[in-house]
Amino acid sequence: MWFGFTAFVDEFLREGKEIMNGLEREKVDVVGKLLMMSVNRRIPLSKIYHNKFSFRITEDFRGRVEKYLNYFQVVVEVDGKIVLELVNWDLTFEMSLVDEDKYTLQTLCLTARSFFHSFQVHLAIESEKFAK
């Protein structure tokens, strides 16, 4: 006897996996920020797992850590605790949403300033043509 999902449920599960994979980088950023705020840049994996819903971290995060060895490493401490350690200090983890908004606003202001400056130069050149 064979049991399986319908095509609709298979499609639903595939879509769910795609969404979770698409949000993976966001979860890595969250964990990186937590590690940067922690003492000694280490947090026991049990604490991350216990608070996973607070930080919207998936159940399978521990398995996904292995893909990000340039950011994290799993370490077993002397007392047997399994901890996640931040390997490299990444400046992108430092940037908060407020900082990102400020950066975006600064970029927009610089772009607008550059645009208006070039527009003023263009107007000055055009007005010199008509003055002659």
Q: What are phi and psi of 65, to 5 degrees?
A: -60, -35
Question: What is the C-alpha to C-alpha distance for residues 21 and 71, in angstroms, rounded to an integer?
Answer: 18
Are residue 5 and residue 31 in the same domain, yes or no?
A: yes
Are residue 75 and residue 117 in the same domain, yes or no?
A: no
Top-confidence residue, 80 or 39: 80
Domain containing residue 17: CATH number: 1.10.10
Sign of the CA dihedral running 97, 99, 100, 105? positive
User: What average pLDDT score do residues 8-27 get?
Assistant: 86
Question: What is the C-alpha to C-alpha distance for residues 67 and 48, in angstroms, rounded to an integer?
Answer: 17
- Summarize pLDDT for 107-129 with one digit per residue, the tens: 665 665 665 555 555 555 555 65
Are residue 45 and residue 66 in the same domain, yes or no?
A: yes
Are residue 32 and residue 65 in the same domain, yes or no?
A: yes
Contact 35, 88 (CB under 8 A): no
Are residue 58 and residue 116 in the same domain, yes or no?
A: no
- Summarize pLDDT for 53-109 with one digit per residue, the tens: 888 888 788 888 888 888 889 999 999 999 999 888 777 666 655 555 555 656 665
Q: Dig out the tokens for 13 from the structure.
A: 């599960």
Q: What are phi and psi of 2, to 5 degrees?
A: -115, 135
Domain count within the chain: 2
Domain with 32 in it: 1-88
